[in-house]
Amino acid sequence: MRNKKTTTILSLFLGGVGIQKFYLGQNGKGILSILFCWTFIPFFIGLYDCIRFSQMSNEYFQVKYNNQNLKCSTCNTELSKDNVSFWSLGIENGACKTCFQKIRNHSKETGKYSFEDDEVQKILSGEIKNRPLPKTNKNTFYVPEEETIEDFELPQDFDSIKINSLAQIIYIDSKGQKSERRITIHSVSQTANDDYVIKGYCHEKSAQRTFRLTRIQQLTDMETGEIFENPSQYITERFEDSPIGMITKTFQELESEILILTFVARADGYLRAKEREIIMKFIIDKSNADLNQELLENEIRRTYCESQDFRDSLKKISNETVEYRTKILDLSTDIVNTDKNPDPMELGALELIKRDLKLKKASA
Protein backbone atom coordinates (compact mmCIF):
# COMPACT_ATOMS: atom_id res chain seq x y z
CA MET A 1 0.00 0.00 0.00
CA ARG A 2 1.58 3.26 -1.14
CA ASN A 3 1.66 6.20 1.29
CA LYS A 4 1.12 9.86 0.33
CA LYS A 5 3.55 11.23 2.92
CA THR A 6 6.26 8.81 1.84
CA THR A 7 5.73 9.82 -1.80
CA THR A 8 6.04 13.50 -0.86
CA ILE A 9 9.33 12.95 1.00
CA LEU A 10 10.77 10.82 -1.80
CA SER A 11 9.84 13.51 -4.33
CA LEU A 12 11.67 16.18 -2.34
CA PHE A 13 14.87 14.33 -1.44
CA LEU A 14 15.23 11.71 -4.20
CA GLY A 15 13.16 13.27 -6.98
CA GLY A 16 16.38 14.09 -8.87
CA VAL A 17 16.68 10.43 -9.84
CA GLY A 18 12.93 9.72 -10.02
CA ILE A 19 12.63 7.42 -6.99
CA GLN A 20 9.05 8.58 -6.38
CA LYS A 21 8.13 7.38 -9.88
CA PHE A 22 9.41 3.84 -9.12
CA TYR A 23 7.58 3.93 -5.77
CA LEU A 24 4.32 4.72 -7.60
CA GLY A 25 4.90 1.96 -10.13
CA GLN A 26 5.70 4.41 -12.94
CA ASN A 27 8.89 2.60 -13.93
CA GLY A 28 9.13 4.16 -17.39
CA LYS A 29 9.15 7.67 -15.95
CA GLY A 30 11.61 6.55 -13.29
CA ILE A 31 14.08 5.23 -15.88
CA LEU A 32 13.79 8.47 -17.87
CA SER A 33 14.54 10.43 -14.70
CA ILE A 34 17.75 8.45 -14.15
CA LEU A 35 18.81 8.84 -17.79
CA PHE A 36 18.29 12.62 -17.69
CA CYS A 37 19.31 13.30 -14.09
CA TRP A 38 22.41 15.16 -15.32
CA THR A 39 20.12 17.84 -16.83
CA PHE A 40 18.56 18.61 -13.38
CA ILE A 41 15.12 18.45 -15.05
CA PRO A 42 14.09 15.46 -12.87
CA PHE A 43 15.13 17.49 -9.81
CA PHE A 44 12.64 20.23 -10.61
CA ILE A 45 10.00 17.64 -11.49
CA GLY A 46 10.62 16.18 -8.03
CA LEU A 47 10.03 19.59 -6.40
CA TYR A 48 6.82 19.99 -8.36
CA ASP A 49 5.69 16.49 -7.36
CA CYS A 50 6.53 17.25 -3.73
CA ILE A 51 4.23 20.28 -3.68
CA ARG A 52 1.54 18.50 -5.68
CA PHE A 53 1.40 15.45 -3.40
CA SER A 54 1.41 17.62 -0.28
CA GLN A 55 -1.64 19.53 -1.52
CA MET A 56 -3.76 16.64 -2.84
CA SER A 57 -6.37 14.96 -0.67
CA ASN A 58 -5.60 11.57 0.84
CA GLU A 59 -8.67 10.15 -0.88
CA TYR A 60 -7.44 11.33 -4.29
CA PHE A 61 -4.10 9.61 -3.64
CA GLN A 62 -5.70 6.37 -2.46
CA VAL A 63 -8.06 6.17 -5.44
CA LYS A 64 -5.48 7.09 -8.07
CA TYR A 65 -2.40 5.27 -6.81
CA ASN A 66 -3.80 2.43 -4.65
CA ASN A 67 -7.03 1.76 -6.59
CA GLN A 68 -9.03 1.82 -3.37
CA ASN A 69 -12.82 1.73 -3.50
CA LEU A 70 -13.91 4.89 -1.67
CA LYS A 71 -17.09 6.98 -1.71
CA CYS A 72 -17.74 10.72 -1.72
CA SER A 73 -18.19 11.90 1.88
CA THR A 74 -21.20 14.02 0.90
CA CYS A 75 -23.22 12.37 -1.90
CA ASN A 76 -21.94 8.80 -1.35
CA THR A 77 -21.04 8.41 -5.02
CA GLU A 78 -18.31 5.85 -5.67
CA LEU A 79 -15.04 7.65 -6.36
CA SER A 80 -13.03 6.81 -9.46
CA LYS A 81 -9.90 8.21 -11.08
CA ASP A 82 -12.14 10.29 -13.34
CA ASN A 83 -14.45 11.87 -10.77
CA VAL A 84 -12.44 12.15 -7.53
CA SER A 85 -11.58 15.72 -6.52
CA PHE A 86 -7.92 16.68 -6.08
CA TRP A 87 -9.01 18.71 -3.02
CA SER A 88 -10.98 17.47 -0.03
CA LEU A 89 -13.72 19.09 2.07
CA GLY A 90 -11.70 18.59 5.25
CA ILE A 91 -9.71 15.90 7.00
CA GLU A 92 -10.91 12.46 5.80
CA ASN A 93 -13.68 14.15 3.81
CA GLY A 94 -12.80 13.26 0.24
CA ALA A 95 -15.31 14.35 -2.37
CA CYS A 96 -16.26 13.93 -5.99
CA LYS A 97 -15.53 16.81 -8.37
CA THR A 98 -19.21 17.80 -8.56
CA CYS A 99 -19.68 18.22 -4.80
CA PHE A 100 -16.37 20.01 -4.34
CA GLN A 101 -17.18 22.47 -7.15
CA LYS A 102 -20.56 23.28 -5.58
CA ILE A 103 -18.94 24.03 -2.22
CA ARG A 104 -16.19 26.05 -3.89
CA ASN A 105 -18.71 28.16 -5.82
CA HIS A 106 -20.64 28.80 -2.61
CA SER A 107 -17.43 29.88 -0.86
CA LYS A 108 -16.56 32.30 -3.65
CA GLU A 109 -20.01 33.86 -3.41
CA THR A 110 -20.20 34.11 0.37
CA GLY A 111 -16.54 34.51 1.37
CA LYS A 112 -16.95 31.62 3.84
CA TYR A 113 -14.48 28.72 3.59
CA SER A 114 -15.15 26.74 6.76
CA PHE A 115 -18.33 24.69 7.22
CA GLU A 116 -19.78 22.18 9.65
CA ASP A 117 -20.74 18.79 8.17
CA ASP A 118 -24.46 19.60 8.33
CA GLU A 119 -23.84 22.92 6.54
CA VAL A 120 -22.10 21.11 3.68
CA GLN A 121 -25.09 18.83 3.23
CA LYS A 122 -27.49 21.79 3.24
CA ILE A 123 -25.43 23.68 0.63
CA LEU A 124 -25.35 20.64 -1.67
CA SER A 125 -29.09 20.05 -1.25
CA GLY A 126 -29.86 23.68 -2.01
CA GLU A 127 -31.10 24.62 1.47
CA ILE A 128 -28.36 27.24 1.86
CA LYS A 129 -28.19 29.67 -1.04
CA ASN A 130 -25.81 32.60 -1.04
CA ARG A 131 -25.96 35.05 1.85
CA PRO A 132 -28.74 34.90 4.48
CA LEU A 133 -31.32 37.67 4.27
CA PRO A 134 -31.70 40.05 7.21
CA LYS A 135 -35.10 40.17 8.88
CA THR A 136 -37.50 42.73 7.44
CA ASN A 137 -41.08 43.76 8.15
CA LYS A 138 -41.62 44.66 4.50
CA ASN A 139 -43.60 42.21 2.40
CA THR A 140 -43.93 44.04 -0.92
CA PHE A 141 -41.31 42.18 -2.90
CA TYR A 142 -42.66 41.02 -6.24
CA VAL A 143 -41.47 39.82 -9.65
CA PRO A 144 -43.65 39.47 -12.79
CA GLU A 145 -44.71 35.88 -13.40
CA GLU A 146 -43.29 36.06 -16.93
CA GLU A 147 -40.19 38.10 -16.24
CA THR A 148 -37.76 38.98 -19.02
CA ILE A 149 -34.39 37.27 -18.55
CA GLU A 150 -31.72 39.22 -20.38
CA ASP A 151 -28.24 38.34 -21.62
CA PHE A 152 -25.60 41.01 -22.15
CA GLU A 153 -22.60 41.04 -24.45
CA LEU A 154 -19.40 41.47 -22.47
CA PRO A 155 -15.95 42.13 -23.97
CA GLN A 156 -13.65 39.10 -23.90
CA ASP A 157 -11.15 40.92 -21.69
CA PHE A 158 -13.74 42.51 -19.37
CA ASP A 159 -12.66 43.14 -15.80
CA SER A 160 -15.47 42.56 -13.31
CA ILE A 161 -15.57 44.00 -9.81
CA LYS A 162 -16.18 41.19 -7.34
CA ILE A 163 -18.82 42.01 -4.75
CA ASN A 164 -20.60 40.21 -1.96
CA SER A 165 -23.43 42.40 -0.69
CA LEU A 166 -27.17 42.31 -0.14
CA ALA A 167 -29.41 44.84 -1.84
CA GLN A 168 -33.08 45.53 -2.45
CA ILE A 169 -33.77 46.93 -5.92
CA ILE A 170 -36.65 48.37 -7.91
CA TYR A 171 -36.02 47.27 -11.50
CA ILE A 172 -37.58 47.96 -14.90
CA ASP A 173 -36.82 45.25 -17.48
CA SER A 174 -36.54 45.64 -21.27
CA LYS A 175 -40.33 45.18 -21.64
CA GLY A 176 -41.12 47.88 -19.10
CA GLN A 177 -42.16 45.43 -16.37
CA LYS A 178 -41.48 46.64 -12.84
CA SER A 179 -40.21 44.39 -10.05
CA GLU A 180 -39.00 44.83 -6.49
CA ARG A 181 -36.66 42.14 -5.28
CA ARG A 182 -33.80 41.24 -2.95
CA ILE A 183 -30.51 40.19 -4.52
CA THR A 184 -27.06 39.07 -3.47
CA ILE A 185 -24.72 41.06 -5.72
CA HIS A 186 -21.80 38.97 -6.99
CA SER A 187 -20.09 41.27 -9.47
CA VAL A 188 -20.37 44.40 -11.60
CA SER A 189 -19.10 44.27 -15.20
CA GLN A 190 -18.86 46.77 -18.04
CA THR A 191 -20.65 45.78 -21.25
CA ALA A 192 -19.46 46.24 -24.82
CA ASN A 193 -21.75 49.32 -24.96
CA ASP A 194 -20.06 50.94 -21.94
CA ASP A 195 -23.03 50.21 -19.72
CA TYR A 196 -22.73 48.28 -16.46
CA VAL A 197 -24.27 44.93 -15.58
CA ILE A 198 -24.87 43.50 -12.12
CA LYS A 199 -24.68 39.74 -11.76
CA GLY A 200 -26.30 38.26 -8.70
CA TYR A 201 -28.68 35.85 -7.02
CA CYS A 202 -32.38 36.80 -6.91
CA HIS A 203 -33.92 35.63 -3.64
CA GLU A 204 -37.48 36.02 -4.94
CA LYS A 205 -36.83 33.68 -7.90
CA SER A 206 -34.18 31.53 -6.15
CA ALA A 207 -31.99 31.78 -9.24
CA GLN A 208 -29.08 33.68 -10.78
CA ARG A 209 -30.05 36.86 -12.63
CA THR A 210 -28.38 39.72 -14.52
CA PHE A 211 -29.47 43.36 -14.22
CA ARG A 212 -28.55 46.46 -16.22
CA LEU A 213 -27.43 49.17 -13.82
CA THR A 214 -29.21 51.96 -15.73
CA ARG A 215 -32.57 50.13 -15.33
CA ILE A 216 -32.38 50.02 -11.54
CA GLN A 217 -34.62 52.88 -10.31
CA GLN A 218 -33.69 52.53 -6.66
CA LEU A 219 -31.22 50.47 -4.67
CA THR A 220 -31.25 49.93 -0.90
CA ASP A 221 -28.27 48.52 0.96
CA MET A 222 -30.01 45.89 3.12
CA GLU A 223 -27.15 45.81 5.63
CA THR A 224 -27.09 49.55 6.34
CA GLY A 225 -30.58 50.59 5.27
CA GLU A 226 -29.14 53.39 3.10
CA ILE A 227 -31.26 54.22 0.02
CA PHE A 228 -29.61 55.18 -3.29
CA GLU A 229 -31.82 56.88 -5.88
CA ASN A 230 -28.75 56.75 -8.14
CA PRO A 231 -27.47 53.13 -8.01
CA SER A 232 -24.21 54.17 -9.71
CA GLN A 233 -23.43 56.15 -6.56
CA TYR A 234 -23.74 52.95 -4.53
CA ILE A 235 -21.23 51.14 -6.74
CA THR A 236 -18.85 54.10 -6.76
CA GLU A 237 -18.94 54.69 -3.01
CA ARG A 238 -18.66 51.03 -2.12
CA PHE A 239 -15.80 50.11 -4.39
CA GLU A 240 -13.72 53.18 -5.05
CA ASP A 241 -13.58 54.92 -1.69
CA SER A 242 -14.77 52.27 0.75
CA PRO A 243 -12.33 50.15 2.83
CA ILE A 244 -13.21 46.98 0.90
CA GLY A 245 -12.88 48.87 -2.38
CA MET A 246 -9.37 50.04 -1.55
CA ILE A 247 -8.37 46.53 -0.52
CA THR A 248 -9.85 45.08 -3.71
CA LYS A 249 -7.87 47.55 -5.81
CA THR A 250 -4.67 46.80 -3.89
CA PHE A 251 -5.15 43.05 -4.33
CA GLN A 252 -5.59 43.54 -8.08
CA GLU A 253 -2.38 45.62 -8.27
CA LEU A 254 -0.34 43.13 -6.20
CA GLU A 255 -2.08 39.94 -7.31
CA SER A 256 1.05 38.02 -8.39
CA GLU A 257 3.03 38.94 -5.29
CA ILE A 258 0.18 38.05 -2.92
CA LEU A 259 -0.45 34.71 -4.66
CA ILE A 260 3.23 33.74 -4.41
CA LEU A 261 3.46 34.59 -0.70
CA THR A 262 0.16 32.87 0.04
CA PHE A 263 1.23 29.73 -1.80
CA VAL A 264 4.44 29.53 0.26
CA ALA A 265 2.55 30.16 3.52
CA ARG A 266 -0.07 27.49 2.75
CA ALA A 267 2.40 24.92 1.37
CA ASP A 268 2.29 23.04 4.69
CA GLY A 269 -1.50 23.18 4.79
CA TYR A 270 -1.82 26.12 7.20
CA LEU A 271 -1.82 29.92 7.15
CA ARG A 272 -0.57 30.98 10.55
CA ALA A 273 -0.81 34.38 12.24
CA LYS A 274 2.92 35.20 11.84
CA GLU A 275 2.73 34.33 8.13
CA ARG A 276 -0.32 36.56 7.68
CA GLU A 277 1.51 39.39 9.43
CA ILE A 278 4.37 39.25 6.92
CA ILE A 279 1.94 39.31 3.98
CA MET A 280 -0.07 42.14 5.56
CA LYS A 281 3.01 44.27 6.19
CA PHE A 282 4.13 43.85 2.58
CA ILE A 283 0.71 44.90 1.25
CA ILE A 284 0.46 47.90 3.59
CA ASP A 285 3.98 49.06 2.68
CA LYS A 286 3.23 48.81 -1.05
CA SER A 287 -0.18 50.49 -0.90
CA ASN A 288 -0.67 54.25 -0.85
CA ALA A 289 -4.12 53.82 0.72
CA ASP A 290 -5.01 53.65 4.40
CA LEU A 291 -6.14 50.03 4.50
CA ASN A 292 -8.43 48.62 7.16
CA GLN A 293 -6.22 45.96 8.77
CA GLU A 294 -9.09 43.80 10.00
CA LEU A 295 -10.66 43.64 6.52
CA LEU A 296 -7.22 43.13 5.00
CA GLU A 297 -6.50 40.14 7.23
CA ASN A 298 -9.89 38.65 6.35
CA GLU A 299 -9.08 38.95 2.63
CA ILE A 300 -5.70 37.27 3.20
CA ARG A 301 -7.43 34.44 5.07
CA ARG A 302 -9.71 33.93 2.06
CA THR A 303 -6.86 33.89 -0.46
CA TYR A 304 -5.82 30.55 -1.92
CA CYS A 305 -3.30 29.88 -4.67
CA GLU A 306 -3.20 26.74 -6.79
CA SER A 307 -0.06 25.38 -8.43
CA GLN A 308 -0.85 26.82 -11.88
CA ASP A 309 -1.54 30.30 -10.44
CA PHE A 310 1.73 30.05 -8.50
CA ARG A 311 3.71 29.29 -11.66
CA ASP A 312 1.93 32.03 -13.64
CA SER A 313 2.65 34.56 -10.89
CA LEU A 314 6.33 33.61 -10.81
CA LYS A 315 6.49 34.10 -14.57
CA LYS A 316 5.12 37.65 -14.21
CA ILE A 317 7.45 38.60 -11.36
CA SER A 318 10.45 37.16 -13.26
CA ASN A 319 10.26 40.24 -15.50
CA GLU A 320 10.78 42.62 -12.57
CA THR A 321 14.12 44.05 -11.45
CA VAL A 322 16.61 41.91 -9.55
CA GLU A 323 16.02 44.04 -6.46
CA TYR A 324 12.26 43.44 -6.56
CA ARG A 325 12.62 39.71 -7.27
CA THR A 326 15.00 39.45 -4.34
CA LYS A 327 12.45 41.23 -2.14
CA ILE A 328 9.84 38.58 -2.97
CA LEU A 329 12.33 35.80 -2.22
CA ASP A 330 13.25 37.48 1.09
CA LEU A 331 9.61 37.68 2.13
CA SER A 332 9.04 34.05 1.15
CA THR A 333 12.09 33.05 3.19
CA ASP A 334 10.79 35.03 6.18
CA ILE A 335 7.48 33.16 5.94
CA VAL A 336 9.22 29.79 5.90
CA ASN A 337 11.46 30.80 8.85
CA THR A 338 8.45 31.56 11.07
CA ASP A 339 8.59 27.84 11.79
CA LYS A 340 11.67 26.59 13.67
CA ASN A 341 11.42 23.35 11.71
CA PRO A 342 10.39 24.39 8.17
CA ASP A 343 8.08 22.03 6.36
CA PRO A 344 9.64 20.22 3.33
CA MET A 345 6.83 21.53 1.13
CA GLU A 346 7.63 25.13 2.02
CA LEU A 347 11.32 24.51 1.32
CA GLY A 348 10.37 23.03 -2.04
CA ALA A 349 8.33 26.13 -2.87
CA LEU A 350 11.35 28.30 -2.02
CA GLU A 351 13.51 26.34 -4.44
CA LEU A 352 10.97 26.88 -7.21
CA ILE A 353 10.95 30.63 -6.49
CA LYS A 354 14.76 30.78 -6.71
CA ARG A 355 14.71 28.91 -10.01
CA ASP A 356 11.90 30.81 -11.71
CA LEU A 357 13.03 34.23 -10.46
CA LYS A 358 16.61 33.40 -11.50
CA LEU A 359 18.04 33.96 -8.02
CA LYS A 360 20.64 31.89 -6.24
CA LYS A 361 19.80 33.01 -2.71
CA ALA A 362 17.99 35.60 -0.64
CA SER A 363 19.73 38.84 0.34
CA ALA A 364 22.04 38.73 3.31
Task: Quote the CA–CA distance of 166 and 182 in Å, as a whole number.
Answer: 7
* 352 close to 48: Cβ distance less than 8 angstroms: yes
Residues 161-241, CATH architecture: Roll (2.30)
CATH no., domain 244-356? 1.10.3680
Q: Are strands 227-228 and 216-221 parallel, antiparallel or unpaired?
A: antiparallel
Comparing C-alpha atoms, which of 275, 255, 283 is closest to residue 338? 275
Q: What is the pLDDT along the chain (364 residues), one digit of tens a residue?
A: 899 999 999 999 999 999 999 999 999 999 999 999 999 999 999 999 999 898 888 888 888 998 888 888 777 888 888 888 887 776 667 888 888 877 777 666 555 566 666 667 766 665 555 555 555 555 567 888 777 777 666 544 445 666 667 889 999 988 889 999 998 887 787 776 667 888 888 888 878 888 988 899 999 888 777 888 888 777 766 656 667 778 878 888 899 999 999 999 988 888 889 999 999 999 999 988 788 888 888 888 888 888 888 999 999 999 999 999 999 999 999 999 998 888 888 888 899 999 999 887 665 5
Task: Quote the CA–CA distance of 261 and 258 in Å, as a whole number.
Answer: 5
Indicate the domain borders of the chain: 4-55, 71-128, 161-241, 244-356
What's the half-sphere exposure (Cβ side, CA atoms, 13 Å) at 11?
A: 24
Question: Would residue 116 be called left, alpha or beta, if left means φ above 0 and alpha means ψ between -120 and 50 degrees?
Answer: beta
